[in-house]
Structure 1
């Protein structure tokens, strides 16, 4: 919301914090009792911000290229990918500068990354790369693209190896000019580059990069810090939790990072789920269940995922009645999930619970849907 309200629509620089997959929007439709298509296509405009964004979308033909980039960014930030893609088609016809090409490539990458498992990411990075060679792109924006190239190559090989190496080399070079780079971009780079030694099990180099990420993030968070700046510290703690679990093997440090993450933003449900995962790996299943349930109480996103994890934990703890209650709620939240229906039915059979008919019907409907 803050990014939307503070945006200068006539200048590049819409501030992204998190971009969710379409499944999150589907879950929201179920929770709010609205048609999924109405959310996806921006037909549902019940809030003032959505009404304002929708009005700008409707007037796309009257907007400048920069305004179109920012409106597309706002749409992508709330997972309205379909209307964003329609604006990108307009942008592709009207673009005239290297900066515009770069920003279009950036948005095309975000959509490909969230909706198509990165199939079109190479083309998007090629477009950004051509723009970078003109030397007309701000250094911080170039470093942003380097970061994403590294992160998504490590995560799921979205770029060819040669392209990854090129962006890695460029980012490493740019990061040496840290005085000319926005602290948020620099912090993201160091968090991203930490994944390289982490993938090789190099705990010392990983921690060194993470410390640099923290130092840069700290420079973002003064007394005037807003949501985007605070997000830099949040993302540091999110990455640190994974580092401590998978690389450092220090579960106490991971828990401390998780608690710090929650303290920064108690209204963000994802943080409770991430800390719950640490406790689960520490074999503290009861504590994990409590945290997953807290995540459900706090709300979207990932309500169904958190509830399923809570149900599984309660089952492991022997608290079968509470596990059953979670599965019954899940039957409505995730009606197309074979995993939910199968696990719910298995537990219902063990308890001779009458809800077994609900899960049987759910599985039958899934089979019918697949057959159609």
Structure 2
């Protein structure tokens, strides 16, 4: 299925820009919690796992499976692709599938639901980046009497929302809530390790919680993996990928690789046709992390390229897979090759379609393929006309080429300045 966009701005000669993108399984999943008729061959691993989690959920028990949590900005891109306003999409006003109708019905009677049911509803909403609605659920939960086990899961939700929506400002309080619950011994081992992993990852990435808190979670996670044999493979693989960031931060290549090998061992699953998407996702995230390890810690371009190709082989319809390998080529100064893979990423559709197309445009410009770079910028001017970065870079190239589309980019920048002044 093709989605076609026509420019609202015309070139001076009266011609308009236009662009086409196919609707993929990620698009259908994020807008409908349904792969939209895509089969296992044409649906990406995230989408399959996301739908599996919803379809298999026991709403009366904890354990909703997260695959990957996207920032709310991904919905803006999907709204642009659909040509609709963001707010109705973000608030589930359009319940286009049976899954959305079911989720929406539970949301509508939220005050009647149990704490466990509300936590699961919020988890399902997070899986499709509906954070405004998750906050509504958290407001209902704040008025309930809760057990330590319930407190842990609510703290987890509070952390995820803060992490994706306000830069982690509320993460310290969320982790403290989870820590108090953990101290009561009411939380399963794998869930404790999930919290330990996130504490390590987000402390290393952006100091999202205090050092003393990070050290407690690091100590707990290390103890759990040394003494408990009851940890789920997904939690264990995530832990080792997270803990690899500690030696990576100090440049310890041996310890980093050792942790990554343990992550790979925990994620080692059969990739046959019957393999669950959630299991395949463990392997997928290992390859994604391995690419970054090889690029920035090991500085082994060949190994990074091999990991990127393994990622594409595992998840060939996932746009991000091509973007990851494109980054390897860009870092190794194979700019034209990088452009080709960014173009494949954009052609695969969302998520990050505009980002991938912009990177392709910049790569084409760098390697002297100005006509193709200009074509990409023209498409971006249609797709993301409010992006100052796109309009500025497109204008720079158009002026260098004395291209008539310079007028379009100039007009776009003027309109942005006018709106900012208002």
More off after superposition, 137-146 vs 210-219: 210-219
Matched residue, 2:128: 78
Corresponding position: 1:100 with 2:150: yes
1:175–1:222 CA distance, 2 compared to 1 (3 A): farther
Instruction: Name the TM-score, length of structure 1 as normaliser.
Output: 0.97
Matched residue, 1:121: 171
Whichever structure has more helix as a proportion of its residues is 1
Distance 1:221 1:136 in 2: 35
Q: Given that residues 269 and 283 in structure 2 are in contact (C-alpha distance below 8 angstroms), is that contact kept between their aligned partners in structure 1?
A: no
Of the three residues 229, 233, 243, the one matched with 1:179 is 229
SS of the aligned residue for 1:311 comes to helix
Q: Could you report, residue by residue, the CA deviation over 1:206-238 in whole angstroms, capped at 9, with x for unpaired residues?
A: 000000001111158787531211110000000
Q: Given that residues 184 and 220 in structure 1 are in contact (C-alpha distance below 8 angstroms), is that contact kept between their aligned partners in structure 2?
A: no
Let me know the Cα RMSD of the aligned residues: 1.3
More off after superposition, 141-150 vs 24-33: 24-33
1:4–1:338 CA distance, 2 compared to 1 (3 A): same
Matched residue, 1:163: 213
Distance 1:359 1:336 in 2: 11
1:323–1:178 CA distance, 2 compared to 1 (3 A): farther
Corresponding position: 1:371 with 2:403: no
Matched residue, 2:368: 318
Distance 1:160 1:220 in 2: 39
SS of the aligned residue for 1:179 comes to coil
SS of the aligned residue for 2:142 comes to helix
More off after superposition, 197-206 vs 310-319: 310-319
More off after superposition, 145-154 vs 226-235: 226-235
Q: Given that residues 268 and 298 in structure 1 are in contact (C-alpha distance below 8 angstroms), is that contact kept between their aligned partners in structure 2?
A: yes
Matched residue, 2:330: 280
Distance 1:95 1:336 in 2: 45
Q: Could you report, residue by residue, the CA deviation over 1:69-107 in whole angstroms, capped at 9, with x for unpaired residues?
A: 011001011110001110111112124211110000001
1:62 Cα deviation from its structure 2 partner = 2.4
Corresponding position: 1:8 with 2:39: no
Corresponding position: 1:198 with 2:278: no
Of the three residues 345, 348, 351, the one matched with 1:295 is 345
Q: Given that residues 112 and 118 in structure 1 are in contact (C-alpha distance below 8 angstroms), is that contact kept between their aligned partners in structure 2?
A: yes
Instruction: Name the TM-score, length of structure 2 as normaliser.
Output: 0.86
Of the three residues 231, 248, 263, the one matched with 1:213 is 263
Q: Given that residues 91 and 132 in structure 2 are in contact (C-alpha distance below 8 angstroms), is that contact kept between their aligned partners in structure 1?
A: yes
1:318 Cα deviation from its structure 2 partner = 1.1
1:76–1:95 CA distance, 2 compared to 1 (3 A): farther
Higher relative contact order (CA 8 A, sep 6+): 2
Q: Given that residues 106 and 124 in structure 1 are in contact (C-alpha distance below 8 angstroms), is that contact kept between their aligned partners in structure 2?
A: yes
The correspondence of residues 216-235 of structure 1 with structure 2, limited to 5 A, is 216-218=266-268, 224-235=274-285
SS of the aligned residue for 1:21 comes to coil
More off after superposition, 294-303 vs 332-341: 332-341
Corresponding position: 1:40 with 2:86: no
SS of the aligned residue for 2:146 comes to coil
Q: Given that residues 272 and 291 in structure 1 are in contact (C-alpha distance below 8 angstroms), is that contact kept between their aligned partners in structure 2?
A: yes
Q: Given that residues 240 and 263 in structure 2 are in contact (C-alpha distance below 8 angstroms), is that contact kept between their aligned partners in structure 1?
A: yes
1:178 Cα deviation from its structure 2 partner = 4.6
SS of the aligned residue for 2:229 comes to helix
Q: Given that residues 92 and 104 in structure 1 are in contact (C-alpha distance below 8 angstroms), is that contact kept between their aligned partners in structure 2?
A: no
Distance 1:334 1:207 in 2: 40
1:48 Cα deviation from its structure 2 partner = 2.9
1:360–1:302 CA distance, 2 compared to 1 (3 A): same
Distance 1:67 1:47 in 2: 21
Q: Given that residues 269 and 279 in structure 2 are in contact (C-alpha distance below 8 angstroms), is that contact kept between their aligned partners in structure 1?
A: no
- Unpaired runs of 5+ residues, structure 1, are none
Distance 1:214 1:96 in 2: 37
- Unpaired runs of 5+ residues, structure 2, are 1-50
Of the three residues 34, 41, 49, the one matched with 2:99 is 49
More off after superposition, 96-105 vs 331-340: 331-340
Q: Given that residues 67 and 278 in structure 2 are in contact (C-alpha distance below 8 angstroms), is that contact kept between their aligned partners in structure 1?
A: yes
The size of the alignment, in residue pairs, is 372
1:177 Cα deviation from its structure 2 partner = 2.8
1:370 Cα deviation from its structure 2 partner = 2.2
Distance 2:238 2:388 in 1: 37
Q: Given that residues 183 and 219 in structure 1 are in contact (C-alpha distance below 8 angstroms), is that contact kept between their aligned partners in structure 2?
A: no
